Structure 1
C-alpha cells in the first residue's frame, strides 16, 4: 500500500463527502480518497531531478500532410507540447518511395510537409524556447498491415547498380533537409531512421554522414531500431549520438495488465544493451523514439501501430512511468523523444488509442518527470439555456443566411423532429461540402461557452464532420471534429439523435466576432444526415448537492 494508505484505511471506512455546487470538489474528493493502486504507485514513485542540464527532454512533433504545420491548430498543439516541460522536439518530415525495390524517393507528394511548412514549424518552436532535431523519414506509399515497410528497403536489391541508385537518391533527399536545417538554426539533425535493410552497408552510410557534415555543422544522429539494428551497425563512430528507437518488448503476455514494477524489471536486458553500446563506442545514447499506444497490450509489441485491442490508458501510463524510472538518470543517456505529439490538437484525449500522450494519464507522467506543473483541472460547466443565441431552431433565426457549398440536397423545416420537438435540416453533403450559415452584422459570442446542435445520420453510415467559425474578415478558426468523445456521445454519429457540443474556447480561441458557422463533411464521402437546434449556449456551474460514499481500501 502506498504512503498514507493505512491512515485512510483506519480512519475512512465510513466516510461520506458532501460536495456542493462545483463538480471540481467531486473530482478532488474522489481523486484523494478513492485513488486506484496503479495511480497511487505512480504518484508516490521515485522521482529525481535530471542531473544533466543538457539532457534532451524531447517529444516528436508530427504532421502527415502538407500545410498542416502552418495551421492555427499546429501552433495550439505545439503550445500544449511545450507545456509538458519538453525542451526539444523531433520535427518529422516524411518522404516516400513506391516499394522496397524502388530507387527514387519523392518529397513532393502532398503527404510530405513542404519546406515552407518545416521552416514555419522550426521558427515557431524556437520562439517558444524549444530546440529542434529535424528528423526526415522515408516510408512506402500505400503501406498495409503486415506488408513491407521502410525497414525492408534494400532487401529486394540484387545488383550494385540498384544500391548505388538508391543511395544517390537518399543522399539527395537527406542533404536537402540538412541544408534546410543549417539555414534555419536547427540544433540537431537525424540522418536516417529505421532503414535496417540498408545499414549493413557501412561505407555507403559513412558517405551519407560525411555528406551531411559537409552541409550541416551541428550534431548528427542515426535512429536505429531496437533489438538488432542498433547492435549490428559498425559505423556509430561517424555520428555524434547512438540513436535508438527504443520499442523494446516489455510484456510477453498480452492477457496480463502489467504493473509499473513488472515493466521496470523488463528493462534490465535493453538497458544492458544500451549501456554496452555506449561504452563500446564512447558515445551517449539518444532514444530518438520511445512510445506506447493507449491500448491494452501496448507493452507487448510497442512498435506495432497496426495491432488492435481495447482502450487502456493505464498500461500506457505505466509504461511511461517504468521507462522514466529506469532510464531517466542513466549516465549514458543524453535524451529521449517520446513518440508522438500530433500537429492536430484534437488527435488526443480520453478516447484516442494512438501513441500520443496528449490529454491522457501518460501526459501527467510526462509532465511530472519533465518538471512541468500538472495539467490544469477544468471546472465542470452545465448549459445555461437562459443565455443562448439560436441559429437554427426549426427555421433559420433572424439575419442568418444559407451560404452552403457542396450540398446536393437540402431541406429546412424537415422531419424527423428533433429531441426538442422542432423541425430539422435534412441534407446530403458531397465530399468536403458544408452546411454554412452566414450572419450580418458579426456576432460577439463571448457570452457563450459552447456551440451545440443535434445530429443524426439518415442511414447506417457514420458521417465524419468538422465545425469551424469564420470572422468578419473571413479568417477561419480551428477546425474541431464532431466525431470525438469529448464532443459527442460515443465519439460517432449514428442513426439516433445525439447532441454535439463544442467549446468556443476551441472554435474561437482568438475571441473574434463571428459571421459564419460551417459544419463540413470531412471523410471524403457523400453523407446524408439531419441537423437540429443549432445555437450558441452559455454555461454556469452546476447547482446541486451530492452525497458520495467513499470506500477506503
Structure 2
C-alpha cells in the first residue's frame, strides 16, 4: 500500500515537472512581446477614437506602446531644430489613458527634414551649433519621461552616421541624461542589412546605454526561406546582445502591403500592386523565427519587445484593405500579430 502511494506521488510529481518543463519552453517561445508605435503627423487633441484605439490594443494582447514625438529642421544641412509637431497636451492625455489601461510606455523622439530627405542623411553645416540644439531637446524629453514615469527612453533615432562620427558627444549626452532620468535608455539604430549590425556592435560596446534599440527593416529576398533569413538575422542581433550584455527592443518593424515589400521594407515610396499576403508572410515568418530561435539555436533570445510600425496614426477600428502603407490593421497580417501578442500575454501571466 505504501509502495502504491509512493508510486502515485512520484507520478504526480513527474507530471508536474513535465508540465513546468513545457511551460518554460513556451514562455521562452513567446518571450518577445508585441508593441505598437503611435505616430501623429498633425496637431490635434486626444479624443474618444484614441481611447478606442488603446482599448483595442489592450484587448488584442498588445500591452506596450512607443510614443513618437517629431521635431523638424528645414533641410538636412540645417543647424537649427525647430518645433515639435505633437502637442504636449495630447501626449499627456495619451500617457494618462495608457497608464489607466496598464499599457507600458516607451518614449521616442526623432528629427525629420522639411526638404523631404530621410533623417539618415542629416548632416548639419555646423555640428557644434546643431548638437547644442539636439542636446537641449534630448534633455527636455528625458526630463519629461522621468516626470511621467516612463520606463523606456530613446535619446535619438536613425542618425547613425552622426553618432558614429561624434561618439564622445553622445557618450557624454547619455551620462547627462542618466543624471535626470532613472529608466532604461537606448538609441534607435537604423537596421537595413547585417553590415549595419557590425557597426552597431562596435558603437554599443562604448555607448553607455542600458538597452539596444533597433529599427529593423531587413530584407527577405526569398519568401520560401524567409523564416530562415529571420533566424539568421536574430542570431546576429542576439550575438550583439550577448557581447554587450544588453537586452534588445526592436523599436520598429514594418512591411508595407504592396508587392515586393519583403525585398525593400524600408522603401515607403515604392509604388506597386496591393499585396496583403506578402505583408502577412513577412510578419508570420518573423514571429515564427522568434518562437523557434531558442530551440533551433539552443541559445537565449534577448529580444524583449517588437514594436509594429504604421504609416501615420494607426486606427485599429478602421479597415484599410486598400492601403499600401505599413499599417497591418484591417489586413491579413492583423490576425498573425494578434495571435502572437495574445499568446505572449497568456504565458507572461503564468
Query: Normalized against structure 2, the TM-score is what?
Result: 0.81
For the 8 Å contact 1:341–1:357, the answer to whether it is kept is: no
Q: What aligned pairs does 1:28-67 form with structure 2 within 5 A after superposition?
A: 49-51=26-28, 55-67=32-44
Alpha-carbon distance in 2 for matches of 1:312, 1:181 = 38
Alpha-carbon distance in 2 for matches of 1:115, 1:174 = 15
Offset, 1:344: 5.2
The reply on whether 1:273 has 2:259 as its aligned counterpart is no
Q: What aligned pairs does 1:471-490 form with structure 2 within 5 A after superposition?
A: none
Q: What aligned pairs does 1:272-421 form with structure 2 within 5 A after superposition?
A: 272-328=235-291, 330=294, 331-340=301-310, 343=313, 345=315, 348-371=319-342
| CA offsets 1:66-93 (integer angstroms, 9 cap, x no match) | 225x122222222222222111101111
Q: What aligned pairs does 1:24-103 form with structure 2 within 5 A after superposition?
A: 49-51=26-28, 55-68=32-45, 70-103=46-79
Alpha-carbon distance in 1 for matches of 2:325, 2:319 = 8
Offset, 1:53: 8.7
For the 8 Å contact 1:135–1:190, the answer to whether it is kept is: yes
Alpha-carbon distance in 2 for matches of 1:269, 1:184 = 38
Aligned to 1:231: 198
| CA offsets 1:493-526 (integer angstroms, 9 cap, x no match) | xxxxxxxxxxxxxxxxxxxxxxxxxxxxxxxxxx
Aligned partner (choices 115, 118, 121) of residue 152 of structure 1: 121
3-state SS, counterpart of residue 183 of structure 2: coil
The reply on whether 1:117 has 2:90 as its aligned counterpart is yes
Alpha-carbon distance in 2 for matches of 1:210, 1:183 = 18
Aligned to 1:130: 103
3-state SS, counterpart of residue 90 of structure 1: strand
Aligned to 1:449: none
Please, which runs of 5 or more residues in structure 2 have no aligned partner? 1-24, 295-300, 345-350
3-state SS, counterpart of residue 224 of structure 1: strand
| CA offsets 1:14-68 (integer angstroms, 9 cap, x no match) | xxxxxxxxxxxxxxxxxxxxxxxxxxxxxxxxxx744389754211111111225
3-state SS, counterpart of residue 171 of structure 1: helix
- Structure 1 pair 308–50 and aligned structure 2 pair: CA distance change class (3 A): farther
- Greater helix share, structure number: 2
**Total equivalences in the alignment:** 306
For the 8 Å contact 1:84–1:372, the answer to whether it is kept is: no
Aligned to 1:478: none
Alpha-carbon distance in 2 for matches of 1:75, 1:51 = 32
Aligned to 1:165: 129
3-state SS, counterpart of residue 306 of structure 2: strand
- Structure 1 pair 94–50 and aligned structure 2 pair: CA distance change class (3 A): farther
- Structure 1 pair 271–207 and aligned structure 2 pair: CA distance change class (3 A): same
For the 8 Å contact 1:171–1:211, the answer to whether it is kept is: no
Aligned partner (choices 145, 154, 167) of residue 181 of structure 1: 145
Aligned partner (choices 153, 156, 180) of residue 215 of structure 1: 180
What's the C-alpha RMSD, in Å, of the aligned pairs? 2.3
- Structure 1 pair 310–52 and aligned structure 2 pair: CA distance change class (3 A): closer
Offset, 1:348: 4.5
For the 8 Å contact 2:109–2:156, the answer to whether it is kept is: yes
3-state SS, counterpart of residue 162 of structure 2: coil
Alpha-carbon distance in 1 for matches of 2:234, 2:314 = 33
Alpha-carbon distance in 2 for matches of 1:282, 1:55 = 17
Aligned to 2:210: 240
Alpha-carbon distance in 2 for matches of 1:174, 1:358 = 32
Alpha-carbon distance in 1 for matches of 2:29, 2:233 = 22
- Structure 1 pair 137–124 and aligned structure 2 pair: CA distance change class (3 A): same
Alpha-carbon distance in 2 for matches of 1:282, 1:222 = 16
Aligned to 1:469: none
Q: Which moved more, 1:114-123 or 1:339-348?
A: 339-348
For the 8 Å contact 1:77–1:342, the answer to whether it is kept is: no
Query: Normalized against structure 1, the TM-score is what?
Result: 0.52
For the 8 Å contact 1:348–1:357, the answer to whether it is kept is: no
For the 8 Å contact 2:318–2:330, the answer to whether it is kept is: no
For the 8 Å contact 2:32–2:290, the answer to whether it is kept is: no
